[in-house]
């Protein structure tokens, strides 16, 4: 065991995956020599050479599109979009190809690739550096969308993503890249993709979150001692672990979904719909969402309005509990 941040855990996952499997290559803008603007890939080029770890031109379509070709031809590329806001020029490749190669070729080709991208606000960043674009990736069939919230999961999910036979979009909650440490195994391990984690068991209400928001939810719990909430860390946004969610709702009858993505047509809507479909008559109150507003996430001097903090979570939770069944 060793004490690691999420950033270090991801770095270790990449390192151990590359060590074990020669077909893993890692690249993107500033990913090679410098080790990434967040230093997530630090040390890898030195260890594995410029062939397997390299810097690219500023060309997201090329980064994603070349990974398609590499996957077809025997490699397992792990590419980085420098920020999720800059993944959009590569979005055509993701939707048109990454998500579809298996189906298009009826299984002849499949793409064991990972697209990493730091995402989310709360880091006082420039425009396009704070986006939460889960919906854009979760809505597309053929993709998996994974988001860790702890160092343990970060390493295990990343290793699972690299070993997955399907393409995985891996969003990294950059706000908590270095926020805290956790003791995690030094040896390689996987955390299963497609399974949510019960971060805390409880009976009164279910709270669903992922990424940096899981911690905020946990902090909020300290402000509502009297509420016995079950916290689900979704971990895989798509394909979603509906079963775990439904089981929890059947127990608690109430649900609050917390995410930073824009509210309308956002991820919470899908969760609510699945709950409606499978546990409607168990609901004791209307499912609630606490999300980013439907406005462009503000620059730092206005960001505090947008960012969801524990106080707000506690407030919504109390309101939700106050609704009578």
Partner 1 sequence: MLFKDFDPLKEEMLQILDQKGNIVNDKLVPKIKKATLMKMYKTMVLGRIADDKAVQFQRQGRMLTYAPNHGQEAAQLGSIAAMDDNDWLVLAFRELNAMLYKGVTLEQSYLYWYGNEMGAKYDEDVKVLPINVPIGSQINHAAGIAYASKLNKTGEVALAFIGDGGTSHGEFHEGMSFAAAYDLPMIVVIQNNHYAISTPRKKVIKSKTLAQKAIAYGIPGIQVDGNDPLAMYLAVEKARERAANGDGPTLIEAVTYRMGPHTTSDNPKLYREDKEVQEWAKKDPLIRFKKYLIDKKYWSNKKDEELQETSKKEVLDAFKKVEKSGLVDLEDIFKYTYEKLTPNLEKQMNAYKKYLDEVGE
Ligand X SMILES: Cc1ncc(C[n+]2csc(CCOP(=O)(O)OP(=O)(O)O)c2C)c(N)n1
Binding site for its own copies (CB under 8 A): 61, 85, 88-89, 91-92, 95-96, 99-100, 103-104, 127-128, 135-136, 138-142, 238, 240, 262, 264-270, 272-273, 276-277, 280-281, 283, 285-289, 293-296
Looking at 3, 43, 46, 103, which residue binds partner 1 (CB under 8 A)? 103
- DSSP assignment letter at 89: G
Query: What, of partner 1, ligand X, its own copies, none, does residue 300 touch, CB below 5 to 8 Å by kind?
Result: partner 1
CB of 178 to partner 1, least distance (A): 13
Q: Could you list the residues that contact ligand X (CB under 6 A)? A: 29, 58, 60, 82, 86, 89
- For residue 90, CA distances in Å to 52, 133, 219 come to 21, 13, 36
Query: CA 147 to CA 150: how far, in whole Å?
Result: 10
CB of 42 to ligand X, least distance (A): 17
- Pick the closer one to ligand X by CB: 88 or 246: 88
- Pick the closer one to ligand X by CB: 84 or 150: 84
- Pick the closer one to its own copies by CB: 15 or 134: 134
Looking at 5, 96, 139, 310, which residue binds partner 1 (CB under 8 A)? 96
- Tokens at 51, concatenated: 């062939």
- DSSP assignment letter at 130: S
Q: Give yes or no for residue 186 binding partner 1 (CB under 8 A).
A: no
- Pick the closer one to partner 1 by CB: 19 or 127: 127
Site string for partner 1, 7-46 (x = CB under 8 A): ------------------x---xx--xx--x---------
36 φ, ψ to 5°? 90, 150
CB of 274 to its own copies, least distance (A): 9
Query: What, of partner 1, ligand X, its own copies, none, does residue 312 touch, CB below 5 to 8 Å by kind?
Result: partner 1
Find the angle CA(88)-CA(56)-CA(161) to the nearest 5 degrees.
Answer: 65
- Pick the closer one to ligand X by CB: 118 or 167: 118
- Pick the closer one to ligand X by CB: 128 or 311: 128
Q: Give yes or no for residue 293 binding partner 1 (CB under 8 A).
A: yes
CA dihedral (75, 80, 85, 86) positive or negative? negative
CB of 245 to partner 1, least distance (A): 12
Query: What, of its own copies, partner 1, ligand X, none, does residue 91 touch, CB below 5 to 8 Å by kind?
Result: its own copies
Query: CA 247 to CA 202: how far, in whole Å?
Result: 12
Q: Which ranges of 225-265 does DSSP label H, i.e. alpha helix?
A: 242-252
Active site residue ranges = 129
284 and 105 Cβ atoms separated by less than 8 Å: no
Q: Which ranges of 120-172 does DSSP label H, i.e. alpha helix?
A: 134-138, 151-163
Cβ neighbours for 196, distance < 8 A, ≥ 6 positions apart: 232, 233, 234, 235, 236, 241, 244, 245
Cβ neighbours for 10, distance < 8 A, ≥ 6 positions apart: 40, 116, 154, 155, 158, 172
């Amino acid at each position: 065991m060793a004490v690691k941040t999420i950033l270090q855990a991801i770095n270790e996952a990449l390192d151990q995956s590359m060590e074990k499997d020669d077909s893993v290559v890692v690249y993107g803008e500033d990913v090679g020599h410098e080790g990434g603007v967040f230093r997530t890939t630090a040390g890898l080029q030195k260890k594995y050479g410029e062939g397997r770890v390299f810097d690219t031109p500023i060309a997201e379509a090329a980064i994603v599109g070349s990974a398609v070709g590499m996957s077809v031809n025997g490699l397992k590329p792990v590419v980085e979009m420098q920020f999720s806001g800059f993944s959009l020029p590569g979005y055509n490749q993701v939707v048109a190809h990454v998500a579809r190669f298996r189906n298009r070729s009826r299984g002849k080709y499949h793409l064991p690739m990972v697209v990493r991208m730091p995402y989310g606000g709360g880091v006082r960043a420039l425009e396009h550096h704070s986006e939460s674009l889960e919906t854009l990736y979760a809505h597309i069939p053929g993709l998996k969308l994974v988001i860790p919230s702890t160092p343990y999961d970060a390493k295990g999910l990343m290793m699972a993503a690299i070993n997955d036979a399907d393409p995985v979009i891996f969003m990294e909650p950059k706000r908590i890249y270095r926020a805290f440490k956790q003791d995690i195994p030094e040896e390689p391990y996987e955390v299963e993709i497609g399974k949510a984690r019960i971060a805390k068991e409880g009976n009164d209400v279910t709270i669903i979150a992922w990424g940096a928001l899981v911690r905020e939810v946990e902090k909020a719990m300290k402000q509502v001692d009297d509420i016995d909430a079950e916290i689900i860390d979704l971990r895989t946004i798509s394909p979603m672990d509906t079963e775990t969610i439904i089981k929890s709702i059947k127990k608690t009858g109430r649900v609050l979904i917390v995410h930073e993505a824009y509210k309308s047509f956002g991820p919470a809507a899908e969760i609510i719909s699945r709950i409606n479909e499978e546990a409607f008559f168990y609901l004791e109150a209307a499912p609630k969402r606490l999300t980013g507003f439907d406005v462009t996430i503000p620059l730092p001097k206005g960001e505090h309005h947008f960012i969801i903090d524990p106080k707000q979570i506690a407030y919504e939770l109390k309101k939700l509990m106050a609704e009578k069944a």
